[in-house]
Chains A and B, each alone.
Chain A
Amino acid sequence: MTTLGIGIQVAAMLVGGAYVLAVADRLIGGSGSNVRSAFSYPVKRLSFLMLQPVTTTERPDLAAWILAPSLLLGLAAVGAVSIPIGGPSPGGDIPAGLVLFGAAMLIVLVAVFIFGWAPNSVLPMIGGYRFAAMVLSIGIPFSLVVLTTAIPAESLSVGTIVESQSSLWYLLVQPLGLPIYLITAAAIAFWGPFDLPEGTDLAGGIVAEASGARLAMWRFARAALMVTLSLMGAAVFLGGYLGPVLPGWLWTVIKTAVLLILLALTGRTMARIRVQRFVWFGWVVLLPLALVDVFVSGWVAL
C-alpha cells in the first residue's frame, strides 16, 4: 500500500472514530438525552467553533500554542499508522510498530505540556504540569502491558501480534492486560476520570484560554488520540481484524468502537481522581500489577 493510501485510511479511521466518540460522550453526559440531536451535536459544535474568533492572551508563546495541537494530532496519526486495519499488508507492516506507538504516546506529554504553558496563564500552566506528573506515573505500566503482548508473538510488529491471536485473544491469555491498558490509555488521553489537566477545578485547565478554531483543533486531536489508543487496544488484546464472516476492516471498526464507548462511559460517571492519589495509584498499584502481567504471561508463553 502506498503512503498516500495509508494516510487516507488513517484519516478515515481518526475522523470516523472521533465522531463516534463525540456522539457517545454526548449521549452519556448530555442532559437533553435527545438521541437525534446527539448525532448532529458534533457537527453543530464544530461549526460554531469555526465561527468563533480565536482569542489570545497578553504575551503568549504563540509558536508553542500553534504547535501543540498539530503535534498531538501528528502523534495520534503516527500511532495509528503502526496498526494494520483491514488485514495483513502484503509486505508486512512497520517492523517495530509497537516501539513507534509507545514512543508516540509518551511524547503526548510534550504536546499537552506546551499547550498549557503557551498562554502564559496560571490555570492552564498548572494543568500542564499536572499532566507531567500523571504520565511519569503511568508511562511504565502502559508500555509494559502493550509489550507483554509481544512476548508470545515473538515480534514487535503489530501485524504479527494480531496474527498470533488467531486461536485465542490476548484479552483471555493475559487477563490483566486490557484493564491496565484502558486505565493508562484514558490517562494518556487525559480522559475522565483522569482529565486532571482539563479539570473543572482549573476552570478547564489547559483549554481555559483556548477558543474557536484552536479549541476545535485541540478537541479533534484529543479525540484522534483516543481513537488511536482504542485501535491499538483492539489490535493487541481483541484480535484486531481477525473474525468470522465480516471483512477484516469491519472487525477493526467494531472492536475499536466498543472500546471507545467503554471509555466514554467511564469518563462521565466516575469522580476525577486527585493528582497525588493518581501518582500513588500508578506506582504502587498499576506498576506491580503490570509486572505480574509480564512475568506470568512470560511463564505461560514458555
Chain B
Amino acid sequence: MGLKARLVHLARTGEVPVFAVVGGGYRSAMHQLRHADGIRIVTSPRHASVLLIAGTFTEAATETVNRVHDQMAGPRVTVGWGHREPMLAPTRANPAGDTSEIAAVIRRQFHDVVTGAIQPEPPLLPDVDPVEWRGVGPYGHGGTGMTGGTPYGRPLALRAPDRDGLELDQVPVTIGPWFAGFPPGLALRVSLQGDVAQAVEVVTTSVVSSGPPGVFTRALHEPTPIRDLEMARARHHLEWMADTLLIAGADRLSLRADRLAETIQPGDVEHVTRLTAAARRSLLRLMTLRGVGVLSADIDMVGLGPVARAAGFSDDRRTPEPAYRDIGFQPVTHDVGDAWARFAQRAAEAAQAVDLAARAGSHRAFGSGEVEAPDGHHQAGETGPADRLTSMLDAVLPGMEWGDLVTTVQSLDIDMESVFFGRPPT
C-alpha cells in the first residue's frame, strides 16, 4: 500500500469537518448535530470538507454561500438538510430527517469523496479577478503616493481620525453572514482601527428565510397551553446559553447546555440552576462577560424581553395575562444590563419557565395578537424585537474591542429569521 492509499484508509472513517450555513427552521436542529458522532462543526471553511446547507434561505444568500463553498479547502462535498427552494448550490444529498440521519449522510459523503468514489466538487464562482490589476511593481506598491496602487484590485486601508483625534489607518470589513460569532444571517460592516471598531453598519440583506411556524406564532392567534409555551422558552434559552458558552470556548459546558435543552422536562429547575452555577465556576462572569456591552439607560428597551429585563425594566407581556397571573407569574429582573446580566437573566428565565410549565396545568394564554416570545414582545403583523435590536447595533458597538463586540452581539440574541418577516421565532 502506498503512502497516499494508507492516508486515505485512515482518513475515510475519521471525524468529518463540516462548515454549516444555517437557514430558517434549523437553528435548534444544529445544536443536536454539533454533538453527533463523527461530526465536527468548524468555524472556517478552510478547515472543512463538507458544506452543510440547512433550512430555508432567500435568493440573496446565493452569492455568499457560493463564496464560502469555494473557500473550502476540500475535497469538497455539499449536503443539504431540509434545504428548500431556492436552492443555493447543487447538493449531493438533501435529507429532511433527524440528526442521526443527516450525520450518517454526511459521514457517507465524506467517506466517498476521500476514497475517490465520487468526484470532489469544482468551484462555483467564475475565475476572474474582482478588479483589474492596477499599480506598478510586484505588489502594486509602485502606484502613486506612499501606499498607492491596488494589488489584487483591493486598495490599502483608508486614513481616518480615531476617537482621540489622531489620523490612523482604518479598514472597513464586512463580516458575515456565515460567521461563527454572529447569529446566522447577520452581516456587519465594521470599520476597524486595530482591533477596535470605530463604526458599525448592519448589512441589511435578508438571507435567512423564516422557518415553519412554531408555538409562539400559534400563540399569536389562538390560546396555547402555557406548558408548551414555557417549555419552548426554556429550550430556546438553554440553546442560547450553549451558543454563548461555545463562543466563550467552554466546550464541555456548551455540550451540557445542549443536552439539557434536549432532555429538559417541566419542573427541572434544579438542572438549570446547576448549569448556571457551573457557568459561573468556569469564570464566564468574571473573565468574559462582566462589564461588556452595557446598554445605556437612554435606549428605549420596552418590548425587548430578556434584554430589557436584564437592564432592570420589569417589562413582560405575560404580566397582564390572566392565565399567567393565576399560576403566580412574576417577571424576574437583573440590573446593570451587561452581557453577564443578560446571561443570568436568561438562565433565571429558563429556570422560571420549567417551574411555570410544571404548575401550568391546563391553563392557556395569549391568542390576542400579542405574545411574549423568548426574545421579547411580538405583535401580529409587526416586525419583532430582532429588527429593533439590529438597528440598535450601530449605536451600541462602536468603541468596542473585537472580542467584546462579538460577545455583545451574541448576548442580544438576535434572530435573523424574524427580522424581515415580522414573525416570532419558531
User: Which chain A residues border B73 with CB–CB below 8 Å?
Assistant: 52-55, 211-212
Out of A208, A273, A276, which one reaches B283, CB within 8 Å? Answer: A273
Residue interface mask A269-284, B partner, CB < 8 A = 1: 1111111110001000
Bound form: Cα–Cα A100–B177 in Å: 46
Chain B: residues with CB nearer than 8 A to chain A? 4, 6-8, 10-11, 13-15, 17, 34-38, 42-44, 46-47, 49, 71, 73-75, 114, 139, 151-152, 154, 171, 173, 175, 179-181, 192, 194-195, 245-253, 255, 279, 282-284, 287-288, 292, 401-404, 406-407
User: Which chain B residues border A58 with CB–CB below 8 Å?
Assistant: 152, 154
User: Which chain B residues border A274 with CB–CB below 8 Å?
Assistant: 287-288, 292, 401, 403-404, 407
User: Which chain B residues border A276 with CB–CB below 8 Å?
Assistant: 401, 404
Q: Is B139 a contact partner of A47 (Cβ separation < 8 A)?
A: no
Bound form: Cα–Cα A269–B248 in Å: 10
Nearest residue, chain B, Cβ from A119: B46
Some 11 contacts from A to B, beta carbons below 8 A apart, are: A122-B171, A129-B195, A200-B247, A202-B181, A202-B402, A203-B181, A209-B46, A268-B251, A271-B245, A271-B250, A281-B287
Q: Is A203 a contact partner of B180 (Cβ separation < 8 A)?
A: yes
When A and B form their complex, which 3 residue pairs have the shortest distance between CB atoms, in order from nearest? Answer: A44-B14, A211-B73, A272-B249
Q: Is A43 a contact partner of B43 (Cβ separation < 8 A)?
A: no
User: Which chain B residues border A126 with CB–CB below 8 Å?
Assistant: 192, 195, 402
Bound form: Cα–Cα A34–B38 in Å: 10
Nearest residue, chain A, Cβ from B190: A122
Interface size for chain A: under 10, 10 to 19, 20 to 34, or 35 or more residues? 35 or more
User: Which chain A residues border B37 with CB–CB below 8 Å?
Assistant: 31-32, 34
User: Which chain A residues border B192 with CB–CB below 8 Å?
Assistant: 122, 126
Bound form: Cα–Cα A11–B49 in Å: 31
Q: Is B47 a contact partner of A215 (Cβ separation < 8 A)?
A: yes
Nearest residue, chain A, Cβ from B8: A51
Nearest residue, chain B, Cβ from A203: B43
Q: With an 8 A cutoff between CB atoms, is A45 at the interface?
A: yes
Q: With an 8 A cutoff between CB atoms, is A102 at the interface?
A: no
A-B contact sample (13 more), CB < 8 A, given A48-B7, A195-B249, A203-B44: A44-B13, A48-B114, A59-B139, A126-B402, A130-B195, A196-B403, A201-B181, A208-B43, A208-B46, A209-B44, A215-B47, A271-B287, A275-B195
Q: Is B38 a contact partner of A32 (Cβ separation < 8 A)?
A: yes
Bound form: Cα–Cα A247–B173 in Å: 57
Q: Is A193 a contact partner of B249 (Cβ separation < 8 A)?
A: yes
Residue interface mask A243-282, B partner, CB < 8 A = 1: 0000000000000000000000000111111111100010
Residue interface mask A48-77, B partner, CB < 8 A = 1: 101111110011000000000000000000
Question: Knowing A51-B8, A58-B154 touch, does A204 contact B49 (C-beta < 8 A)?
Answer: no
Q: With an 8 A cutoff between CB atoms, is A210 at the interface?
A: yes
Bound form: Cα–Cα A273–B286 in Å: 9
Q: With an 8 A cutoff between CB atoms, is A41 at the interface?
A: yes
Chain A 113-170 residues near chain B, CB threshold 8 A: 122-123, 126, 129-130
User: Which chain A residues border B71 with CB–CB below 8 Å?
Assistant: 55
Nearest residue, chain B, Cβ from A130: B195
Q: Is B246 a contact partner of A200 (Cβ separation < 8 A)?
A: yes
Bound form: Cα–Cα A54–B73 in Å: 7
Bound form: Cα–Cα A277–B291 in Å: 11
